[in-house]
Chain A
Amino acid sequence: MTTTSVRPASARRESLFVGALCLAVLAASAAAIGLHRRADDIRSLPAWQIDARSDLTPGEQGVLADLAIAAGEIAWLAEAGALPDVADLAAEGLPPFAPQASDGLRGGHVWSRSGGLYLGRSGDPRVAGSFLMIPGDPPAIWLAPGTADAPADPSQDALRSAGWRQVVSRYEASVTRHDPGAAQ
């Protein structure tokens, strides 16, 4: 007796081949993408720094923007002599040292100068923390929750251990142009 095997009239084998081919293409694509991934341009911040764009309240962002401008003006004023007092800066109409109608919406800070530091003590910690600005090139701006006092030691280590965090603005995470001179 002769036995002949007859395969069912289906495309099962072809389907398996096609499925295997699809998996191979997907695997190859995933491998290619994985090998050509570009490193993230945005570096992560250490715990003692805080991102100006994403980690501040709206009130704090407003004060920071004014402080950044004031730092530039203070640098120009200091070229002519000593660091200006808060009263001098207020007389120049320079926010946040000069009173503004929007102060209450930004935490109602009370500003003072202690040596080479400018301290903005928060009047409403729910809206904004306290600021510390150290003039220089570039100036350093630090933030502490609540109503902080002027630190006795303005060194970075002392500020960090006292709960202050440096506010940083990351420009490299913002540029949309492709800079041909940029390192890839």
Chain B
Amino acid sequence: MISRRLVLAAPAILWAARARAADPLRVGVTLHPYHSWLSNILGPHGETVPLIPEGFNPHAYEPRAEDIRRIDRLDVVVLNGIGHDDFAERMIAASSQPDMPVIEANRDVPLLAAVGGLSSRLGNNRTIGGKVVNSHTFLSVTGAIQQIQTVTRALSGQRPDLADPLRDNARAYARRLRRMRAEAMAGLADLPAASFRIATIHGAYDYLLREFGLEVTAVVEPAHGIEPSPSQLAKTIAAIRDLDVRVIFSELDFPSPYVATIERETGIRLYPLSHIIHGPYRPDKFEVEMAQNYATILRAIREQAA
């Protein structure tokens, strides 16, 4: 069994020695949702520093020297740690603080197994069970709040002087997110239970759709962030027809020409969802774009029920 490096362990001593009680916390994050969460948790008591500059896609990101230098002035880094920010480990190792304390945000999140690409149904034997988990826990309010709690507890353990304001900020933010989800779910009340089959272009939305009681039948991408080849695309289109998929959720910010081909060939309506990894870093980004995602899913359910 792997024993993991945690902020609650040895690095805490180094950190405690380094951090002065009155200093604001400087927390590094790898993805936009984590930036929103940390900005709301820290409030005026700290600064959230994105490790990836705006405009870079984390699915294909390679660390640059100027990005690595940003780690030098951080107190701690918050990681997804289950497959969406593996580059961060190399960045930290190459920085002047290779022993940087790390918070594993997903440590207490009940994880879902990765759904197989359509190609896996076509005999290529790609193994998806067992160890492979879906890393997009940040694309659901449930996963978000769980990670917010984990991060807040870890930060409070390290900076007891900030424990009360951090907890109060985290609770208020979580309450706001819960209210947003409840308002979205209220739109389901007058609709029949959804039972249609769903595919997604990118395997990012299982946690979000699970909140609506929906399951993803298949994912078009053959692997995380990898576009299908022309022959895979032809088989994918045939498979979508065979599986009686009724709705495809596509990517709002990363449109690809092959997605239009799938729509044209299958005649299935595409509904774009936000992966929340594109555009400026803003504290309200997660709330704004998750509300848009909830509205899109409700529209899909409503139109399928009509």
Contact = CB atoms under 8 A, between A and B. Distances in A.
A173 interface: yes
A58 B213 contact: yes
B110 A101 contact: no
8 contacts: A41-B2, A53-B113, A65-B142, A92-B175, A100-B182, A138-B108, A176-B83, A177-B81
B2 A68 contact: no
Interface in B165-204: 167, 171, 174-175, 178-179, 182, 185-189, 193
A59 B178 CA distance: 19
A44 to B, nearest CB: 11
Contacts of B2: 41, 172, 175, 179, 182-183
A76 interface: yes
A106 B10 CA distance: 41
A171 B108 CA distance: 7
Contacts of B111: 52-53, 169, 171, 174
A140 to B, nearest CB: 13
Nearest to A93: B178
A179 B4 contact: yes
Interface residues of A, number: 44
Interface residues of B, number: 51
A8 interface: no
Interface in A53-83: 53-54, 58-59, 61-62, 64-66, 68-69, 72-73, 76
Nearest to A104: B193
Interface in A142-182: 169, 171-182
A155 B137 CA distance: 32
Chain A interface, >50% SS class: loop
Contacts of B221: none
Interface string B58-93: 000000000000000000000101110010110001
Interface of B: 1-5, 79, 81-83, 86, 88-89, 93, 104, 106-113, 129-131, 133, 135, 142-143, 145-146, 149, 153, 167, 171, 174-175, 178-179, 182, 185-189, 193, 210-213, 215
A178 B89 contact: yes
A100 B88 CA distance: 38
A175 B83 CA distance: 7
B4 A58 contact: no
A94 interface: yes
A125 interface: no
A101 B188 contact: yes
Interface string A3-32: 000000000000000000000000000000
Contacts of A64: 110
A45 interface: no
A175 B4 contact: yes
B182 A98 contact: yes
B113 A54 contact: yes
Contact of A179 (B82, B89, B146, B149): B89
B107 A180 contact: no
Nearest to A138: B108
